[in-house]
Amino acid sequence: MNQSFKLKSSEMRQNNVVEKQTSKSGQNYKTFDDEASVRKLVIELIDGTIEILDYAYFMRARYSPLDGSITLIYTWGSVILQGERLRLLIRDFDCNLPKEIICNDKRYNQLAKSNDFVVNALLYEI
């Protein structure tokens, strides 16, 4: 093997391609700022209940514009997020970026900015 051969893996890690695709964190939504080795998704429900889901078991996501929902498929079952303008959120799941999502009551949907998504409910299918 050639002695001058180098992998440059450390240089590739520093090139954060994901950074350009992220949506901005807001009051009801936070994304990972840096490369975390262990990532978990925190969802705070309307009643204050907090659910923590590990990305290690995350397999795929499906966006359904007719239902206004995103289905997150895990190895143990699926989680359904229901709300409005969720197309803005589904792209972030492609890179495992969502860190924290806070659900809002439907009556406050009109107060959200037109360029923000709103999550109103969380359902499980096991």
pLDDT tens, position by position, 54-90: 989 999 999 999 998 999 999 999 999 998 888 888 8
CA 31 remoteness from chain centre: 7
Q: How far apart are CA 74 and CA 61, in angstroms?
A: 9
Contact 63, 121 (CB under 8 A): no
Going 53 to 42 to 119 to 104, the CA torsion angle's sign is positive
Encode 88-102: b = buried (16+ Cβ within 10 Å), e = exposed: ebbebbeebbbbbbb
Tokens 């709103």 appear where?
118
Domain boundaries, the chain: 22-125
Query: What predicted TM-score, i.e. pTM, was given to this entire model?
Result: 0.68
Which class for 84: exposed (0-12), middle (13-18), buried (19 or more C-beta within 10 A)? middle
Q: Is the pLDDT of residue 102 over 80?
A: yes
Beta bridge partners of 44: 50, 102
Q: Is the pLDDT of residue 14 over 60?
A: no
Provide the 8-state DSSP code for 33: S
Please state the rounded mean pLDDT for residues 1-8. Answer: 53
* Tens digits of residue pLDDT in 21-58: 444 556 677 777 666 677 899 989 889 999 999 989 99
